[in-house]
Chains A and B, each alone.
Chain A
Amino acid sequence: MVSLFKIEPIKINENILLNKFIKYIALLILPLSLLMQNLSAQREFVYFPKAIPAWDISHTAGISLAILPRAIVEEEIRQVPVLDYQLRLGLPYNFSINTRVSAVYIANQASIGLQWSYSYDDFSFSIGDNTAYWYGFADIDGFDIVATGWMNYPFISIGADLEEVYLTIKAEMLIITNQNTSVGETSLYNQRNKMAGYAVSFAIEQPFWKDNDFLLAVRLNYATFMYQSWLAVSTSDNKRMFPEFIIGFIL
């Protein structure tokens, strides 16, 4: 049978790719400490759970890369880099609005949410909730399929301002609200409200060059579903690990 994602024959040894990716990240981080200069007192951050002044904006652009579980995609392509943009808008009373857009042609997600922050000295805490809409389509040979869905991500995060580095740990729940899939002339709507799993993120935001800051995050999603794997139409109720690496420049 023609493979699911075999748009073009790409052979990837995922272990080699992952090793290379980790080495690349390490090589990228090491020189950062040398490049750091002109620390600004008004440094910006997106992940760090400290409140930002009302109506100030912090935003980051970069890429994220999720590794899809072998059990779901089997021999097909497991890693697809996704363009990633995140924005945080400060509101009064330590609230802020979070938005995130992740896009890669056949699988796209946009989220918006609210968080409240509390800080003491160099430490900060926040709690919030993001709602996401995802959209995927494939009209290539053998496919006439469109899928959309809503996800909900309640979260808490804590972080430490280590002067040169903002360190953040974030824990989220992944809740599938609903999903609609259309193939040809028929469609299927599932009202799920189902816990898909949870995720833990580790993020570092630190100076990079002149007044520019850099975001590096690893998000460990342990869930039954992640929107980037929608085309596999996996029906498994078993949770799988979907590691996600995020690199961005704070703009």
Chain B
Amino acid sequence: MSNLNILFLSLIVLSSILFSSIILSSCKGDYSVNITGFADSQLKNTTSLNGFIKKKISGLYKVRTGKKMFGDTVVVKWSGTTMSVFARRNEAYMVLKGGSLDSSLVFEGYWRFAQSDRSGNIRLHIAYMEGAKELLQELPPGKVILSGFANEDGTSRSSISLEYIKPLKVNDGFYIVAHRGGGRNSDLLPYSENSLEIIQYAEILGANAIEIDIRLTKDKEPILYHDDNFNTRLIKGEYMVGPVENYYLYQVKNFCTLKKGEIIPTLSEALEVVIKKTNIKFVWLDIKSVEAARISIPVMNNYMKMANQRGRDLVILVGMPTREIFDFIVSGSEYETALKLCELSIDDVRKSNSKVWAPRWTLGYLTNQVEAMQSEGRKTVVWTLDEPGFIRKFINESKFDGILTNYPTLVAYEYYIKDQ
């Protein structure tokens, strides 16, 4: 073999090793987002903010600095003690806590690009002369400027400056429905899909409604779980493999957890949390079997009563995704009073007297049918819409009353920016 032959053969072997190494080393089986927070947090010594300040800070803001990350405008919205900022560019959002410190207001938290694993810490201030003076005295501020910085991986640092333009419009009944309680595991949220924790996080992500998946255990307990089987995509716990209906509730509770360590909740636990710990207005039960519908509807009705007694503005609806479940629910007189959501045709919606029609987004705007449903006093919600361009188009051009999505932050941005 000549020297050149040896050289070529070596080149091939080295290339194979190199290319394989590049592919394998860069492959990420599981992406993750690790929010570390600031080691020198300034929130420790702050006083919590009152309702007046939160209300005055909420609004539409112009991005003065940081357009590369967040675009030209952002929406700032409070949910309890958390301030969320929603943007279109990069499908970005921020989640922050705030407090007053001396004569200024400080906010710290994290930012995310919703459709990738890019994230980092963010710290913003409202300086004394940039709105804090009036806000602390509970006077209408002449201007509000949120300024500070965002970092990524604790290193690179970008300046951020947001200037208040106007208050947010009042939600006129549009449902921003968070898929699986808030989003899928693959969306790298801080909590697992279909957990009690993600349900309580949904409003921080911009949702005012949730969809949750209902399956039955072997002892006929409705639980929140999406897939047919226990698998490593959704749970931790090697003992649990195979169909959900093969396991008793005590096994589900004791021998596995969801991916972020949460206990798999029952339907009752989930609805209790919705009623007592959130302001969610709409719960869509995505029922996975006829038997699950039979067991879940009485539970749902009981919690609807509880919500009414507490004066909660809430509807809990049983979904009818298949003909089989539809036929079962329509044929049972005991299910007549249950609030229903139908994914089938508008004739089926009428036949079942469903309150909500929910077609798949891949059918388009369906304007005539949507208007027909609305003229009969029914709501229309489209599912499951994640494509940013289509979210914008559906909000601006279609007549649906809501969107089910894995990216409620993006739907919230497009909704609040519309006609502004």
B5 within 8 Å of A by Cβ? yes
B311 within 8 Å of A by Cβ? no
Contact A200 B19 (CB under 8 A): yes
Complex contacts, A236 vs chain B, CB 8 Å: 115-116, 186
A167-205 CB contacts (< 8 Å) to partner B: 167, 169, 171, 181, 183-186, 188, 190, 198, 200, 202
Complex contacts, A20 vs chain B, CB 8 Å: none
Min CB–CB distance A184 → chain B (angstroms):
1
Contact A200 B23 (CB under 8 A): yes
Min CB–CB distance B221 → chain A (angstroms):
21
Contact A186 B5 (CB under 8 A): no
A48-97 CB contacts (< 8 Å) to partner B: 70-72, 74-75
B286 within 8 Å of A by Cβ? yes
Of the candidate stretches A100-108, A127-135, A136-144, the one touching chain B is: A136-144
Min CB–CB distance A63 → chain B (angstroms):
23
Min CB–CB distance B91 → chain A (angstroms):
8
B364 within 8 Å of A by Cβ? yes
- Do A167 and B362 contact each other (CB < 8 Å), given the known contacts A121-B5, A233-B387? no
Contact A202 B16 (CB under 8 A): yes
Contact B364 A144 (CB under 8 A): yes
Contact B186 A75 (CB under 8 A): no
Complex contacts, A2 vs chain B, CB 8 Å: 321-322, 343, 360
Q: Which of A1, A138, A238 contacts B116 (CB 8 A)?
A: A238
Contact A75 B386 (CB under 8 A): no
- Do A143 and B2 contact each other (CB < 8 Å), given the known contacts A1-B286, A171-B19? no
Contact B393 A142 (CB under 8 A): no
Min CB–CB distance A161 → chain B (angstroms):
10
A164 within 8 Å of B by Cβ? no
In whole angstroms, what is the CA distance A238 to B407 when docked? 15
Of the candidate stretches B26-34, B166-174, B248-256, the one touching chain A is: B26-34
- Do A144 and B365 contact each other (CB < 8 Å), given the known contacts A74-B233, A160-B8? no
Instruction: Categorize the interface residue count of chain B.
Output: 35 or more
Which residue on A lies nearest to B383, using beta carbons? A1
Contact B16 A169 (CB under 8 A): yes
In whole angstroms, what is the CA distance A183 to B384 when docked? 13
Complex contacts, A183 vs chain B, CB 8 Å: 361-364, 390
B388 within 8 Å of A by Cβ? yes
Min CB–CB distance A28 → chain B (angstroms):
22
In whole angstroms, what is the CA distance A158 to B2 when docked? 18
In whole angstroms, what is the CA distance A65 to B105 when docked? 57
In whole angstroms, what is the CA distance A210 to B384 when docked? 54
Contact B115 A143 (CB under 8 A): no
Q: Which of B28, B113, B227 contacts A237 (CB 8 A)?
A: B113
In whole angstroms, what is the CA distance A95 to B33 when docked? 47
B69-103 CB contacts (< 8 Å) to partner A: 91
Contact B343 A1 (CB under 8 A): yes
CB 8 Å contact bits of B317-345 with A (1 = contact, 0 = none): 00101100000000000000000000100
B397 within 8 Å of A by Cβ? yes
B117 within 8 Å of A by Cβ? yes
CB 8 Å contact bits of B184-214 with A (1 = contact, 0 = none): 0010000000000000000000000001000
Contact B5 A122 (CB under 8 A): yes
Complex contacts, A235 vs chain B, CB 8 Å: 91, 115, 386-388, 407
Complex contacts, B129 vs chain A, CB 8 Å: none
Complex contacts, B229 vs chain A, CB 8 Å: 75
In whole angstroms, what is the CA distance A70 to B363 when docked? 25
CB 8 Å contact bits of B36-55 with A (1 = contact, 0 = none): 00000000000000000000
In whole angstroms, what is the CA distance A121 to B169 when docked? 74
B99-130 CB contacts (< 8 Å) to partner A: 113, 115-117
B372 within 8 Å of A by Cβ? no
Contact A222 B363 (CB under 8 A): no
B295 within 8 Å of A by Cβ? no
Complex contacts, A159 vs chain B, CB 8 Å: 12
Which residue on A lies nearest to B114, using beta carbons? A235
- Do A222 and B23 contact each other (CB < 8 Å), given the known contacts A2-B321, A2-B322, A233-B386? yes
A112 within 8 Å of B by Cβ? no
CB 8 Å contact bits of B377-397 with A (1 = contact, 0 = none): 000000110111110010001
Min CB–CB distance A126 → chain B (angstroms):
13
Contact B116 A188 (CB under 8 A): no
- Do A190 and B389 contact each other (CB < 8 Å), given the known contacts A1-B384, A75-B227, A169-B12? yes
B139 within 8 Å of A by Cβ? no
B299 within 8 Å of A by Cβ? no
Q: Which of B8, B359, B362, B407 contacts A120 (CB 8 A)?
A: B8
B15 within 8 Å of A by Cβ? yes
Complex contacts, A144 vs chain B, CB 8 Å: 362-364
Contact A184 B12 (CB under 8 A): no
Complex contacts, B115 vs chain A, CB 8 Å: 235-237
Contact B387 A188 (CB under 8 A): yes
A1-29 CB contacts (< 8 Å) to partner B: 1-2, 11
- Do A138 and B387 contact each other (CB < 8 Å), given the known contacts A158-B11, A169-B15, A200-B20? no
CB 8 Å contact bits of A221-251 with B (1 = contact, 0 = none): 0100000000001011111010000000000
- Do A237 and B116 contact each other (CB < 8 Å), given the known contacts A186-B393, A222-B26? yes
Additional 20 contacts, C-beta under 8 A, given A160-B9, A222-B26: A2-B322, A2-B360, A70-B233, A71-B233, A72-B186, A120-B4, A138-B362, A142-B359, A144-B363, A158-B8, A169-B15, A183-B363, A184-B366, A200-B20, A200-B22, A235-B387, A236-B186, A237-B115, A239-B28, A241-B23
Residues of B at under 8 Å CB distance from A?
2, 4-5, 8-9, 11-12, 15-16, 19-20, 22-23, 26-28, 31, 91, 113, 115-117, 186, 211, 226-229, 233, 286, 319, 321-322, 343, 359-366, 383-384, 386-390, 393, 397, 407
Closest 4 CB pairs of A and B: A184-B364, A123-B8, A237-B116, A200-B19
List 5 A–B pairs whose Cβ atoms lie within 8 Å, in order of A's numbering. Answer: A2-B322, A142-B363, A202-B16, A238-B28, A238-B117
